[in-house]
Amino acid sequence: MHADNLCNDGSMASFQFSLRRLLIGVSIVCVASALAAAFPELALMLGFALVLLGPGLVVAAGASVLAVQKIRTFFVVLAGAFVGGILAPERTGAGTAIDGAIDRVMLALPCVSGGAVLAAGMALFIDFLARPRTRSRR
């Protein structure tokens, strides 16, 4: 064990730079950029999907950390985000196809996030009620 791999307290560093990781990361970014350039419509649709699913996944991961029943909570929150997306208002009007897609995503984003937050609150409350109670000793 070399001294340059140790932290100030003598423990091993949690992250160590390596050229291998850097090259793998750069290669993944290059392949993703090439695919986005070759298939711009598909890249746009995937980007919209990630924008819509991102907040729901973040809320689901956060709620799962707090819950005892982690997998159940994760899927309940994702179901809430899905229901929020279904209940999102539909935009009608003239404009280009990309403008309509952007408007639909911007209208659906608060509904998806709100559905995920409401489902997370419900799942965490049910999880709290289902926890076994311990009596305090006096």
Residue 59 included in any domain: yes
Q: What is the pTM of this model?
A: 0.64
Looking at residue 45, what is its pLDDT? 85
Strand partners, 126: none
> Are 5 and 18 in contact, with CB atoms under 8 Å apart?
no
Looking at residue 110, what is its pLDDT? 87
**pLDDT of the chain along its 138 residues, tens only?**
555 555 555 555 567 789 999 999 999 999 999 999 999 888 888 888 888 888 889 999 999 999 988 999 999 999 998 898 888 877 665 566 666 777 777 788 888 888 999 999 999 998 888 887 777 666
Looking at residue 118, what is its pLDDT? 92
Residue 66 included in any domain: yes
> Are 105 and 51 in contact, with CB atoms under 8 Å apart?
yes
Domains identified in the chain, total number: 1
Question: Which residue, chain included where needed, has tokens 């305090």?
Answer: 136
Looking at residue 31, what is its pLDDT? 95
Q: State which residues form the domain around 61.
A: 40-130
Compute the distance between CA of residue 23 and CA of residue 16 in angstroms, rounded to an integer.
14
Residue 14 included in any domain: no
Residue 92 included in any domain: yes
Q: Please report, as a single letter, which amino acid is at residue 4.
A: D
Question: Which residue, chain included where needed, has tokens 């799942």?
Answer: 123
Residue 88 included in any domain: yes
Task: Please compute, for residue 3, the number of CA atoms within 13 A of its CA located in the half-sphere on the CB side.
Answer: 0
Residue 21 included in any domain: no
